[in-house]
Structure 1
Amino acid sequence: MSNPVTRGACLCGDIQFETTAQPKGASMCHCSQCRKQSGGIWSSAYVKDTELQITGPVSWFEASPTAKRGFCARCGSYLFWKAHDEDTTSFALGALTAPTGITIEKHIFVRDKGDFYEIADGVAQRD
């Protein structure tokens, strides 16, 4: 029996992605870069690069010397995060077609979170 297909797309539909791999590491990122790019908390999970099929014109932005962020130039949807030295790509959980079957495992970069909200869901937190 094969895994179900996880599918997602940007707001305008120009970029679509899918995987049959089980997404891993579902997290909510509170770092200042994710907050600035997404307008809040960015939730994502990842799969190996070879297990993620992306169609459409992804624009990549080098946000730091260690990683880049992929987005749609037409609608602005922030869809992907890719570390230069890893063989995985993270994708936006908010862009997925429901139901996802994914549960958040952790909050990351909580030391950098905005001062306008509290994290009170009982999920593990990492500085």
Structure 2
Amino acid sequence: MTLPRDIKGRCLCGAITATAMISNPILRACHCDMCRQHTSGMFMSLAVDEGSLVFDGPVTTFRSSDWAERGFCPTCGSTLFYSTIEDGARHPAAGLFADIDDVPLKLEFFSDKCPAGYALSGDHRRLTTEQTIAMFTSPEGD
């Protein structure tokens, strides 16, 4: 994998395209109640370089909590991103990008909420609900 590299993606119908730069590509999975309700499974996001993510098309957002919003395509309903309101950070849905087969899964959030019907294999960090909340509420982060 040559890094950094540009990646391109799109929603299911193609009405929205996405571009980003990846220098330290990792996949993250979230099993929280909202992500599972939103996607009918886990939400998989791709780490992209800060400020490099650009969407072109009619992105619609829904404020799903006091601290976050979710972006989606108003035509096909594809999930585009999870975004934190306070800092405006957008975490794009990994499924938008076709050319990331070589990107490793490195982190699961809310791993103790993962349904019994599936489990992610491999050697990666798995944070419980308590650990996930502590990570996001810690003044220093993690």
Over residues 29-71 of structure 1, what are the superposed CA-to-partner deviations in whole Å (9 max), with x where a residue is unaligned? 1111111111111110233562111100111011110000000
Q: Which runs of 5+ in 2 are unaligned?
A: 129-142
Higher relative contact order (CA 8 A, sep 6+): 1
SS across alignment from 1:37: helix
1: CA distance, partners of 2:39 / 2:116: 16
Q: Which residue of structure 2 lines up, in the alignment, with residue 84 of structure 1?
A: 85
TM-score by length of 1: 0.86
* Structure 2 counterpart of 1:16, one-letter code: T
Q: Tell me how far apart the structure 1 counterparts of residues 3 and 46 of structure 2 sit (CA, whole Å).
A: 19
The structure richer in strand per residue is 1
Task: Give the superposed CA RMSD.
Answer: 2.1
Does the Cα contact within 8 Å between 1:6 and 1:100 map onto a contact in 2? no
Distance 1:23 1:86 in 2: 20
In the alignment, the residues of structure 1 paired with residue 109 and residue 15 of structure 2 have an alpha-carbon distance, to the nearest angstrom, of 29
**Normalising by structure 2, what TM-score?**
0.78
Q: String of CA shifts for 1:50-93, please: whole Å, max 9, x gaps.
A: 21111001110111100000001110101111101224210011
5+ long unaligned stretches in structure 1: none
Supply the AA of the counterpart residue of 1:7. K
Percent identity, please.
27
Range that drifts further, 54-63 or 84-93 = 84-93
User: How many residue pairs end up in the alignment?
Assistant: 127
Displacement over 4 Å in runs of 4+: none
